[in-house]
Amino acid sequence: MLPETKLKAFLDLVRGSTREELIWMDGYLNGMLSCGDVKADAPNARLETQTAAASESAAAKAVVNKITIAYGTETGNSKKLALDFANRAKKSGVQAKLVSLDQYRMNDLPKEEYFFTVISTQGDGEPPAAAKKFYDHIHNNGFKLDKLKYGVLALGDTSYPLFCKTGEDVDNQFQKLGGQRIVPLQKCDTDYEGEATEWFSQVIEVLNKGAVNGRPVTAQPTVKKPVHHKKNHIGTILSNTNLNGSGSNKATYHVEIAAEEVEYLPGDSIGIVPHNTPATVNAIIELTGVERNKKMVYRGEEYEVEELITKKLNCLNLPLRVLKQYADLIKQDIPDTAIDLVDLLRIYPLTNGVNFEQLLSILEPITPRLYSIASSPEAHSGEIHLTVALDNFKVNGEKKYGHCSSFLAQMRENEELEYYVHKNNIFRLPEDDKDIIMVGPGTGIAPFRSFLAHREAVGASGKNWLFFGDQHFTTDFLYQTEIQNWFQTDVLTMANVAFSRDQQEKVYVQHKMMKHGAALFEWLREGAYLYVCGAKEPMSVDVESTLLEIIRKFGDRSENEALQFLDQMKEEGRYLKDVY
């Protein structure tokens, strides 16, 4: 019998452990006992033998001993989960092959027996770039997957109309190709940890049970209580300032929001659902004839019509799927085109007795826009800062503005803003003594302002190097005073700026990187972390190409060795991107 203090510690450990952890502990203890008498002063040299025996014991409990876990990721969350699952599988005696879908050999798929994929959904229901080849391959329907037992964990964001569509598509396609789903499809919102862990516990349970009467065991769907995933906050606008000087081709707003008792970290973003303008709302009410104060239910919640149109309904640049549904609703042919709801109602008015309620049934919600946080809770207590570029573009020759950027640009002091914090656990600062290199042209500077403010506030000893770029030095040097102050006070060890339109030949951040390539490679060789934030194309593509050239040239490596060096940085979490 254990003494009371040891018994209490033992029971606390058991009660707080998962089934898989208990299996591992059971195997570990059996392994120790199989090696002979256990003594308190047993030599450490026996640990390796005991651990091996424990692993063998755990493996003996697993009916299935080999699986593949493949991930498709854009931000890194799917990879993080897949790695955690692989580690948990191994502790349960199951050997897990972990692979990214962009590295997966398609010819291996028909040979797979147990295959589990963790995959996210991007944009308008699209697969991540790294999973596009795999996604297209399984939809070609040129093969069968009769041997395949599978499960899909889908990551997404419930704020978007096509929530977890990529995961749904992969799950359905595997079944069409003859695969057997042995755990139910699990769709996870942005705070996915709990549901993902529960899903993989089901996977382990099925693998441990193996087969019954020659047929694989299939986990039954569990009934779950509704989970409210996002916590919305209401913040007051403290200030809203255009950072660009007079004569600039751009307008970039520094927005400060009161955020008392709101938790976030450098690298996080906030999600904002923009409102429709009063002019848009009034036009839709007039064109449909609906009563402004009439109460209606939309997606399970009741609103007055004016509030519903203002805050919930996407009325701009309607998706083609909505356009097709509207054509079916009013029984007219409508060409595929980019069009707003107001213009659609004017050109193709509601007819044949179609009312606003029927129109409401096909309209989608406004999708949130994510903005990198440009402040640090250590340096800007009780506040969140944003760096917002006013987006503008042309549709059929008419100048249009981005929905959320124009909404934020017009907000005034003391107005209220609703938002939620979007965690980005992949885009985090390293330990305080590690060196970092930041590449952030334009509004890509936002998280790096947060990084630098944080490192200054906590007195981090690691070196900091910033690459920033924009069009003109005199009008577009965002946060110029702060950057210069950080350089003068040695918070910034190095700072290089590129202003593309200030000379005949355009100069971008990648050109500055190459100019200082020898020093940059030395930082990387010594363990520096490199971050990239800003436009995905062409900026991040050009930066990565330049980075590979720097590694090849200044590291005296072949092209293949340079790729391996960069891949190793990715594996170590030292090359991180937040691009859009």
At 333-389, the pLDDT tens digits run 999 988 999 999 999 999 878 899 999 999 999 989 999 999 999 999 999 999 999
> Which amino acid appears at position 523 of this protein?
W
Q: Are 338 and 400 in contact (CB under 8 A)?
A: no
> pLDDT grade, residue 25 (50/70/90)?
low
Contact 265, 451 (CB under 8 A): no
In order of 374, 381, 508, the CA distances from 83 in angstroms are 30, 35, 36
pLDDT of residue 327: 95
pLDDT tens digit sequence for 430-457: 999 999 999 999 999 999 999 999 999 9
Write the CATH number of the domain with boundaries 436-579: 3.40.50.80
- Residue 217: pLDDT band (50, 70, 90) is low
- pLDDT digit string (tens) for 477-517? 999 999 999 999 999 999 999 999 999 999 999 999 999 99
> Could you name the CATH architecture of 233-275+368-422?
Beta Barrel (2.40)
Residue 579 structure tokens: 């691009």
Calculate mean pLDDT across residues 189-207: 89
Percent of the chain with pLDDT over 70: 86
pLDDT of residue 498: 97
Answer with the residue of higher pLDDT: 31 or 541.
541
- Split at pLDDT 50, 70, 90, the class of 53 is very low
Assess whether pLDDT exceeds 90 at residue 57. Answer: no
- Asked whether this chain's domains 233-275+368-422 and 436-579 adopt the same fold, the reply is no
User: pLDDT at residue 191 above 90?
Assistant: no
> What percentage of residues in the chain have a pLDDT greater than 90?
72
CA 535 to chain centre: 15
A 10 A CB-CB count for 260 gives: 10
pLDDT digit string, tens, across residues 519-539: 999 999 999 999 999 999 999
Q: What residue segments make up the domains of the chain, in order of their start?
A: 4-59, 64-216, 233-275+368-422, 278-359, 436-579
From residue 428, alpha-carbon distances to 75, 76, 451 in Å are: 12, 12, 9
What is the reported pTM? 0.78
Question: Which tokens is 301 given?
Answer: 């919640």
- Supply the pLDDT for residue 341: 97
pLDDT in the model for residue 10 = 66
Q: Please check the confidence at residue 46 and state whether its pLDDT lies above 80.
A: no
pLDDT by residue (tens digit) across 75-94? 778 998 999 999 999 988 89
More confident residue, 210 or 463: 463
Q: Is 305 helix (H, G, I), strand (E, B) or coil?
A: helix
Main-chain phi, psi angles of 16, to 5 degrees: -95, 10
- Kindly state the average pLDDT of the residues 312-341: 93
What integer pLDDT is reported at residue 7 of this predicted model? 59
Q: In this predicted structure, what is the pLDDT of residue 545? A: 97
pLDDT band at 211 (very low <50, low <70, confident <90, very high): low
- Say yes or no: domain 64-216 is CATH 3.40.50.360: yes
